[in-house]
Chains A and B, each alone.
Chain A
Amino acid sequence: MIEVIDLFGEPSTGTWIVLTGVTVNAACALVGCFLILRKMSLMGDALSHAVLPGLVIAFVLTGSRSMVPMFVGAVIAGLLTTFMTQSLHQYLRVPSDASMGIVFTAMFAVGVVLVKQFSGGLHFDIGCVYEGALEYVPFGIRVAGMPRQLFTSLMVMLLNLAVILVLWKEFKLSSFDPALATTMGFSATAMHYLLMVLVSVTTVASFEAVGSILVVAMLIVPASTAYMLTDRLGWMVLLSVIFGAAAAVLGFRAATYWDTSISGMMTVVAGCLYALAVLVSPRYGLVSSMLRNVRMSLLVLRDDVLAMLYRVEELGSEKHFSVAETAKGVGGGWLANFAISQLQRAGNIVDASGGLRLTDQGRETARKLVRSHRLWETYLVEQLGMPLDHVHEPAHRVEHFIDEDIQIQLAAELDTADQDPHGRQIPE
C-alpha cells in the first residue's frame, strides 16, 4: 500500500498519515485514562464494535457519509449499548462481563447484517472496519486544508480535551470514588454516560481512519502504560497522550520500513511501549521491583551472617566457620556468598586463618542486631503473652527494622531488659 503513496511522490503524505495517527491516538488516550481507572477498559472494545449498526442506519437514513449523522448514529448506538449492558447486569443478574459481551456482539451482528443488506449502494468494507485505511488518508476530500479524517479526529481530540478540562474535578472524583461524587451533588451515573458518549464519538472519528482494532488499543494501551509510571491523574493523562503520539510516529516508521499495515504496526508499537514500561518503570516495573527484592534479601542475609557469627562468639566456641559453611548457615545460594563478600569489603568481617571472624566494627553492628532480636522476643513474651517457642520467628523477621529509637522504647516497656525469655543475655 505504501507503493501507492510513493507513486504520487507527494512529500507530505507521510506527514498527513502520522498527524492523523497522532490526533486519533491522543483523542483515544484522553478518554482511555478514565476507562482504565474505572476498570471499564473493555467498554472501548465493546463500543467500537457496537456503534456499527448506528453508523449503517445513519448512513441509510441520510444517504450521506457526512460526519454529523454518523456521530449521532454512533452516540445513540453507544448509549443504547451502555444502557442495555447495565440493565442486564443490574436487573437480570447477568454477570457484568457476560452482559457486555452479549450486547456488543449482538449489536455487531446486527451491524454486519445491515451492511450486507444495504451494501448495494454502500461503500462499506468490513475489512476496513478492522484495519482501517490510514494509507488512503492523504488522498481523500480536504477540509480546511487538511484530509477529512485528520480534521474530524482533530475536532474530536479538542472536544475530549475541552470536556475533560472543564469537568476535570468531576471526572477525577467520579473515577476514584463514585459514591462520594454522588453525595457531593454530581451524579456519577451522568459522568459515566458522558464518558460513554465521548468514547463512542472518539471511536467513530477514529474508525474510518485507523480501524477498530487501533481504536481499542489506543483507548487502553497508552493509558495503561502511563498508569505503570505514575500515581497522579494529571501526569497519567499527559503521559498517555505522549505514548499514543509516540506509538503513531514509531509505528508509521516501522510500517514504512517493513512495508506493512500502518495501523497494525502502531498497535504493536503501543504494546511494546507497554511491555517496556512493565519492565523498567521506576516504581512499578519488574526490574525495579526485582532489584528492590534483591537489595532487601541482601540486607537480611548480611544481618543474618553477622548475627550468626556473633552468637557463635557468644557461646565461646573456638570453632570458626568457613565462607561456605557460613553461607550455608544463612540459607545458602549465590546471594549469601555475595552478602558475605559485601561484609568483607565493608570491613565487618575478615576471612582469617581458620574461618570468618567479626571485626570490632562488625561486632558492634551484630550486637545491635542481636539486641533488637532479644528485646523483641522479650517484648512478645512479656507484653503479648506469646509462648516461648513462638517468638524466635517473628523476632528473626523484624530484627532488621528495629532502630535505636525503637530499642529504647522497647527497653523502657520491659521489666527485664537484660535477659531474653530464653535466659540469654541481651547485649547492651
Chain B
Amino acid sequence: MISLSLSDKVALGTALLGGMAGVVGSFAVLRGRALVGDMLAHAALPGVCLAFLITGNRNLLGLSLGALASGLTAIVAVAIILRWTRTKEDAAIGIVLSTFFGAGVVLLSVVQKPSTGGNKAGLHSYLFGEPGGMLTSDVLLLAGVALVVLAMVVLFYKEFLVVCFDTDFAQSQGWPTIWLDLAMMAALAVVTIVGLPIVGVILMAAMIILPAATARFWTNRLSMMLVVSCGFGAAAGLLGTQLGRGFPAGAAIVLTAAALFVVSLLFAPQRGLIARLLVEYRLRRRIADEHLLRTLFELSESSLPDVPVIPLRDVREYRHWNSLERVLERARDEELIDSGEGQVQLTPLGLHRAAKLTKAHRLWELYLMEHANIAPDHVDRDADDVEHLLPESLLVELEQELAEEGRLPAIAAEVPESPHELSPEN
C-alpha cells in the first residue's frame, strides 16, 4: 500500500469527490433537479445521528449508510407528496428538507448529551465539512464510489441520454424510465452522502450544481458535458484545497468552483456572455450597414443608371438611424460610398452590393405576400426583420421559384420593383 501524506490524501479525495459530483450533477441539472442535492444533503443528518446512536462509533461507512437511508427516505417522501397532494414540487422539497434537518438537529442534541458519550466533533463535520481529517480508508471509499458511478454512466450512457432529453420517447420505446431515473437519483444520493463529511451540507449542494452548470456553457453534447463537468469538479477540489489553505476548506472548494463558473459564464464560446454580446453587436452593426445601402439604392433608383449624389438630409429622413455617422464611416472605409459635405453617393461596388441587398429584400417581401399571406402594408416591416438573416441559398431558391411561376419581374436580373410604394420610414 502506498502511503500518502495527509495533504495528498486531501487533494486526491477532494478531486475524486469533485469529479463524481460533476458527473452526477450533470444529470441532475439537465433533469431540473439541481436542488435535490441540497435536499439530500440536509436530509442525511437524522440518518447520520441514528447510525451513530445505533453503532456507537463514527465509522464513515456506517454513518454513510445511515445518511443514505434517510436521504432515500426523503426522496420517497417528496415523491409521495408530489403524487398524492396538491403541494408543488418546490414546497415539497422545502418541507422535506427542513423537517428532516430539524429532526436531525433534535437527534444531534440527543447524541451530544454526555450520557450517550457522543463524539460531537465527528458528527459536526457532517454539517460543516472537514476535509482535513481525511483517512486513507475515506479516500478508498471515495475511489470505490467513483468507480461505481463511472461504470454506471458508461454502461447506461445511451439510456441516461434519452431519459434526460426526451423521457416520453424513452417511455414509448419501452425503457424502464422509472428505474433509470431512480438509478440517477441513487447515484446522486450516494455521491452527496460520501461528500458530506468533506465539504458540509450547503457546500455539497454547490458541488452538485456548479461544475455541471459550468460545463453546460462549453458544450451542447452530453458526453462532452460529463467529461468537462467531471474535470471542472476535480479541478475545483484540487485547486480549492491547494489555494484555500487557511480558509475553511469546503468554502474554498466551492468558491473555486464558483470562480470557474464565472470565468466560463463570461468567456465560453457561443453560450458565454461576451460571445453572445459580440454576436448581438455584430448583427446589429450589419443590419445598420445593410439599411444604409438599401436606403441609398432606393433613393438613387429613379435616376439609374446614373448614380446621383444624395443629400444626407434625405437619408436621415428616409428612416430612423441610431448612429448614422458611424454607419457612414464604415461604409466609406469599405469603399461602398463616397461622401462629403452633407452629401453621399454610392460607388460602383456599393451600387452592386446595394442592388443585391435590395433584391433580396424585395424577393422576400414578394415571398411573404405570395406564400405567407401577409398584407402588403405589413410586409416591409417583417421583411426588414428577417432579410438580414436569410442565407444566400434561400434567396436563390426564392428567385427560382418566382421565375418558374413567371412572376419574377423583368428587371429581376437586377432588382425587382418594390411591391409597395416607397416612402420614408419603410
What residues of chain A have their CB less than 8 Å away from a CB belonging to chain B?
1, 36, 39-42, 44-45, 49, 88, 91-95, 97-102, 105-106, 108-110, 112-113, 116-117, 126-127, 130-131, 211, 213-214, 216-217, 219-221, 223-224, 227-228, 255, 258-261, 263-268, 270-271, 274, 278, 284, 286
Q: Which 8 A-B pairs give the minimum distances between C-beta atoms?
A: A267-B102, A271-B99, A264-B105, A105-B206, A217-B98, A98-B34, A264-B106, A112-B251
Whether A98 contacts B213 in the complex (CB less than 8 A), given A40-B90, A110-B255, comes out as: yes
Known: A40-B90, A94-B216, A286-B84. A113 touches B102 (CB 8 A): no
Instruction: Name 15 extra pairs, CB < 8 A, besides A97-B34, A258-B110.
Output: A39-B90, A41-B90, A101-B35, A113-B247, A127-B124, A131-B105, A211-B105, A217-B94, A258-B106, A261-B106, A263-B102, A268-B103, A270-B102, A274-B95, A278-B87
B261 touching A102, Cβ below 8 Å: yes
Contact A116–B247 (Cβ < 8 Å): yes
Q: Report B-chain residues with C-beta under 8 Å of the C-beta of A217.
A: 94-95, 98-99, 102
User: Which B residues from 99 to 147 make CB contacts under 8 A with A?
Assistant: 99, 101-106, 108-110, 113, 124, 127-128
A102, B215: Cα distance in complex, Å: 13
Report the Cα distance A312→B85, complex, angstroms. Answer: 43
Q: How far is the CA of A9 from the CA of B329 in the complex (A)?
A: 86
Partner of A271 from B84, B85, B102, B251 at Cβ < 8 Å: B102
Q: Tell yes or no: B292 within 8 A of A by CB.
A: no
Check if B91 sits within 8 Å of A116, measured CB to CB: no
- With CB as the reference atom, state the residue of chain A lying closest to B265: A92
Q: From the candidates B86, B95, B203, B255, name the one contacting A220 in the complex (CB within 8 A).
A: B95
Tell me the complex Cα distance, A220–B93, Å: 10
In the assembled complex, the Cα of A105 lies from the Cα of B91 at a distance in Å of 19
CB contact between B104 and one of A112, A113, A264, A286 (< 8 Å): that residue: A264
What chain A residues lie within 8 Å of B110 (beta carbons)? 258, 260
Complex formed: what's the CA distance from A126 to B200 in Å?
12
Q: Which residues of B contact A268 (CB under 8 A)?
A: 99, 102-103, 106
Looking at the assembled complex, report how far the CB atom of B254 sits from the nearest CB atom of chain A, in whole angstroms: 4
Known contacts: A228-B87, A264-B102. The answer to whether A109 contacts B34 by CB under 8 A is: no
Neighbour of B35 across the interface among A49, A97, A223, CB < 8 A: A97
Query: What are 6 A-B pairs with beta-carbon distances under 8 A?
Result: A45-B94, A93-B271, A105-B205, A130-B127, A271-B103, A274-B99
**B88 at interface, CB cutoff 8 A:** yes
Contact of B105 among A42, A92, A213 (CB under 8 A): A213
Also in contact, A278 and B84, with CB within 8 A (given A94-B213, A221-B95, A260-B109) = yes
B247 CB contacts on chain A under 8 angstroms: 113, 116-117
- Residue with the highest number of chain B CB atoms closer than 10 Å, among A98, A126, A214, A220: A98
- Cβ-defined contact, A221 with B99, below 8 A: yes
Q: What's the least CB distance linking B252 to chain A, in Å?
A: 7
Contact B95 A113 (CB under 8 A): no
Q: What's the minimum C-beta distance from B74 to chain A, rounded to whole angstroms? A: 11
Which residues of B have CB within 8 Å of A92?
A: 217, 265, 271, 273
Interfacial chain B residues near A108, Cβ < 8 Å? 202-203, 206, 251
| A108-B202, A221-B99, A278-B81 as given contacts; A102 in contact with B35, CB under 8 Å | no
Report, as a range, how many residues of chain B touch the other chain: 35 or more
Q: Check if B255 sits within 8 Å of A42, measured CB to CB.
A: no
Contacts of A105 in B (CB 8 A): 38, 202-203, 205-206, 209-210, 254, 258
B48 to chain A, nearest CB (A): 14
B94 and A271 within 8 A (CB)? no
C-alpha spacing A261/B113, complex, angstroms: 11
Knowing A101-B206, A130-B127, the reply to whether A261 touches B94 (Cβ < 8 A) is no
Contacts of B248 in A (CB 8 A): 112-113, 116
Are A41 and B255 in contact, with the CB atoms below 8 A? no
Given A42-B90, A127-B124, A264-B106: A106 and B97 interface contact (C-beta under 8 Å)? no
Confirm or deny: B29 has a beta carbon within 8 angstroms of a beta carbon on chain A: yes
Are B102's CB and A265's CB within 8 A? Answer: yes
Known A-B contacts A109-B255, A126-B128; A101 and B34 likewise in contact (beta carbons under 8 Å) = yes
How does the 8 Å CB contact mask read for B319-352 relative to A, with 1 for contact and 0 for none? 0000000000000000000000000000000000
Alpha-carbon gap, A98 to B37, bound state (A): 11
Instruction: Tell me whether B90 and A227 are in contact (CB under 8 A).
Output: no
Q: Determine if A216 and B99 form an interchain contact, defined as CB atoms under 8 angstroms apart.
A: no
Q: Are A45 and B38 in contact (CB under 8 A)?
A: yes
Q: How far is the CA of A131 from the CA of B29 in the complex (A)?
A: 29
B205–A101 contact, CB under 8 A?
yes
Give Cα A398 to B217, complex, Å. 54
Smallest CB separation, B37 vs chain A (Å): 8
Q: Is B391 an interface residue (CB 8 A)?
A: no
User: A265 — which chain B residues lie within 8 A by C-beta?
Assistant: 102, 106
Residues of chain A within 8 A of B32, CB atoms compared: 95, 97
Digitize B19-57: 1 where CB-to-A-CB distance is under 8 Å, 0 elsewhere. Answer: 000000000010011110110001000000000000000
A214 surroundings in chain B (CB, below 8 A): 98, 102
